[in-house]
Amino acid sequence: MAGAHVTKVGIVGIGFIGSDHLHRLTKTIANVEVTAVCDIVPNKAQKVLDEQGLKAKDYSDYHDLINDPNVEVVVCTASNEAHYEIVMAALKAGKFTFCEKPLALDAQQCMDIINEEKKLGRRMLQVGFMRHYAPEYVQMKQMIDDGVIGNPLMVDERHYNQTQPEEYDTSRSIIETAIHEIDLDHWLVNDDYASIRVFAPKQTRHAQNAQIKDPQIVMMETKTGINIVIEVFVRCQYGYDIKCDVIGEEGVLELPTVPQVATRLNAQYSTAILTDWKARFESAYDIEFRDFIGHVSQEESPVGPSAWDGYIAAVTADAALKSLDEDGEKQDLDFPEAPAFYAAK
Ligand SMILES: NC(=O)C1=CN([C@@H]2O[C@H](COP(=O)(O)OP(=O)(O)OC[C@H]3O[C@@H](n4cnc5c(N)ncnc54)[C@H](O)[C@@H]3O)[C@@H](O)[C@H]2O)C=CC1
Ligand SMILES: O=C1[C@@H](O)[C@H](O)[C@@H](O)[C@H](O)[C@H]1O
């Protein structure tokens, strides 16, 4: 009997998550070979290969990686501003592509990507909105769908990072951080957004310059009137903290955190708080890649978050940034039906 097909993957952008996905794809996900890597910073990718004890072709230009016949699938984990050009090139080359969120910098770029993907006649792209795979969110959604708490009325969320560097500016809190909730919430409560407003309350002294707005409060209302509030605070200092309560007519669903051993010591009872997304969503990333590779290795279209999901999130994020610019002015939102090309199968 012939062995399972080994899928040949090339990864573009070997920074924090690129290194993490490199490790995942070579050590955790079965039947994958990472045949090539690329980072725009000289020697960065090779250093990570050496640290992880791996061998792969190390390209300095992502075009060469994409055009390598030994790369069947392109994984884009480069910085946000490079996603558009890398994804467009990968699709033009007709390769299955996984792109970390956000799909691109704005809705127009996402629409260009959609048009490029449509030329291929079927879905070839998945976006890294991994929370759809997190067992705790999947369970919450199932309970909402089953009517366990009655109709959802409000969603109360927190997205806190311990710290971010100075270049992590105001817009990144929306397009890189809040984008997770923006993408997730309409799926969770089965409703489209009708409006969004974002404002900056009292600011942290830990922001590296006065232009940075941190924290921010994002408020969304859905077509049926569900109110969603997301506190986005990317320099909270104390840890990585994700909260999601869905308040319904009959009860509340509360997102669990990753269990940590509790310590009773010196008249104190304490549990640790995680400090980054790697450990907090580790199982979600693993399940996400098993699903993505499982499909594309069979030459099937991926079924996870699509370019259309990336587009809906980008339209909402564009409006969020406009609101922030206009001191929290409400921005109305209206979305077209998903094209048949992206309809859930
Ligand atoms: N799904 C999730 O939870 C997470 C998603 N991300 C996303 O992953 C992406 C990368 O984030 P990080 O790893 O934190 O950033 P990073 O800055 O650590 O890594 C990005 C890497 O891309 C490289 N790069 C930039 N332009 C390039 C180009 N044209 N060609 C080749 N390499 C290029 C940079 O040199 C850098 O090494 C971002 O889009 C971010 O939003 C990041 C962390 C978690
Ligand atoms: O996607 C991620 C990062 O890019 C982003 O910078 C963080 O704020 C998020 O918590 C993390 O999940």
- 1 pLDDT more than 70: no
The count of other CB atoms within 10 Å of the CB of residue 257 is: 15
* CA-to-CA separations, 10 to 57, 104, 295, 334, in angstroms, rounded: 9, 19, 17, 37
The mean pLDDT of the chain is 97
CA 325 to centroid of ligand 2, rounded, Å: 22
189 within 8 A of 226, measured Cβ to Cβ:
yes
Protein residue closest via CA to atom 7 of ligand 2:
177
Confidence of residue 259 (pLDDT cuts 50, 70, 90): confident
Ligand 1 neighbours (beta carbon < 6 A): 12-18, 38-41, 44, 62, 77-80, 82, 100-101, 128, 130, 176, 277
Q: Which atom of ligand 1 is nearest to the CA of 13?
A: 22
Q: Which domains does the chain have, with CATH numbers?
A: 7-131+282-311 (3.40.50.720), 145-275 (3.30.360.10)
Q: Using the mean position of ligand 1's atoms as its centre, give its distance from the Cα of residue 330 in Å.
A: 31
Q: Which of 35, 43, 109, 42 is nearest to 66 (CA)?
A: 35
- If you measure from the C-alpha of residue 337 to the centroid of ligand 1, how many angstroms do you get, rounded to a whole number? 31
Distance of CA 248 from the midpoint of ligand 1 (Å)? 37
What's the pLDDT score for residue 3? Answer: 75
CB under 8 A, 24+ apart: contacts of 255-259: 255/136, 255/137, 255/140, 256/136
Read off the pLDDT band of 343 (50, 70, 90): confident
pLDDT for residue 220 is more than 80: yes
Q: Mean pLDDT throughout 110-127?
A: 98
ipTM: 0.99
State the pLDDT at residue 4.
83
- Can you name the residues that pair with 58 across neighbouring β-strands? 37
Q: Which of 8, 27, 107, 69 is nearest to 311 (CA)?
A: 107
Residues 6+ apart with CB under 8 A from 130: 281, 284, 285, 288
Taking CA atoms only, the protein residue closest to ligand 2 atom 9 is: 177
Ligand with the closest atom to the CA of 24 = 1
Q: Residue 345's pLDDT is what?
A: 52
| CA distances (Å), origin 253, targets 79, 123, 225, 248, 283 | 34, 34, 18, 8, 21
pLDDT at 326: 97
> What is the arithmetic mean of pLDDT over 118-134?
98
Q: Which residue from 60, 75, 79, 285 has its CB within 8 A of the most atoms of ligand 1, so it is best to mutate? A: 79
The single residue listed with the structure tokens 């077209």 is 336
- State if residue 177 touches ligand 2 by the CB under 6 angstroms criterion: yes
